[in-house]
Amino acid sequence: METAEFLQALENEGRLLAAAAEKAGTDAKVPTCPEWQVRDLLRHTGAVHRWAAAYVAEGLTERRPLPEPAALDGAELVDWYRDSHRLLVGTLAGAAPDVACWTFLPAPSPLAFWARRQAHETAVHRVDAEAARGGAPTAVTPEFATDGIDELLLGFQARPKSRLHTPEPRVLRVRTDDTDAVWTVRLSPEPPVTTPGASGEADCELSGPAEQLYLALWNRASVPTVSGDQALATLWREASAV
């Protein structure tokens, strides 16, 4: 996907998140994040939007802590979230393609990184807001979902802080039914090593439509289909949070 597509997704997802949060109310529980209420979701996501926007707007080259969440609630908090989202979208849309700033996952450019990362950040938390509101979540395209799985496997879970470890080498396969995307995740006492494609035999395979698998791998839904060693599916559910 291109940066412009991620920016469009980010804009749409933020609008949907705000609308769902407004309808649910800030007191509502978030079933997909049981320790949160909607106010926690808005404060977190809005703070992340402002944090991300600052790197691009100010050309920051070192990691900064997240800003303190807004001490607001109710309608004022929803409005603050909308302002945070508009700030982020406007900053990314107006940035120079060669802007230089800090990032934390491999990407073609810092702008491409932040557009992609914030699109998926917002999409996942939009699902949280819609879970609090009730009713079916808004769909994402198979292409967007497949990209999100790719970012999770080749980006987040490749970092030294990943908790996906096994005492002995094991192989986990992840496969989408509708985009023909496949990843091979090699587990060991070290951080996972993921390669695109189906290489060698797998001890367990997680598969299903890209959108359902995307939500499942972000622990927002159940894995559609698990074949092979169920313990590796349990390991993902228990240890993959980022």
pLDDT of residue 70: 87
C-alpha distances (whole Å) from 167 to each of 85, 92, 191, 194, 202 are: 42, 42, 12, 17, 16
Residue 172 has pLDDT above 90, yes or no: yes
The reported pLDDT for the residue numbered 186 is 98
Query: Across residues 52-72, what is the average pLDDT?
Result: 95
Nearest to 124 by CA among 102, 93, 149: 149
Q: Helix H segments across the chain?
A: 3-24, 38-58, 74-94, 110-133, 142-154, 210-217, 230-239
Residue 242 has pLDDT above 90, yes or no: no
The two three-digit tokens of residue 143, written as one number:
């292409």
| Residue range 212-240: mean pLDDT, rounded | 97
The predicted structure's pLDDT at residue 79 = 98
Percentage with pLDDT > 90 across the chain: 98
Query: What is the reported pLDDT for 69?
Result: 87
Q: Has residue 5 got a pLDDT over 90?
A: yes
The stretch 217-232 carries a mean pLDDT of 97
H/E stretch holding 162:
none
pLDDT at 199 over 90: no
| Average pLDDT over every residue of 6-22 | 98
Please give the model's pTM, rounded to 2 decimal places: 0.96
107-156 confidence digits (pLDDT tens): 999 999 999 999 999 999 999 999 999 999 999 999 999 999 999 999 99
Mean pLDDT of the chain: 97
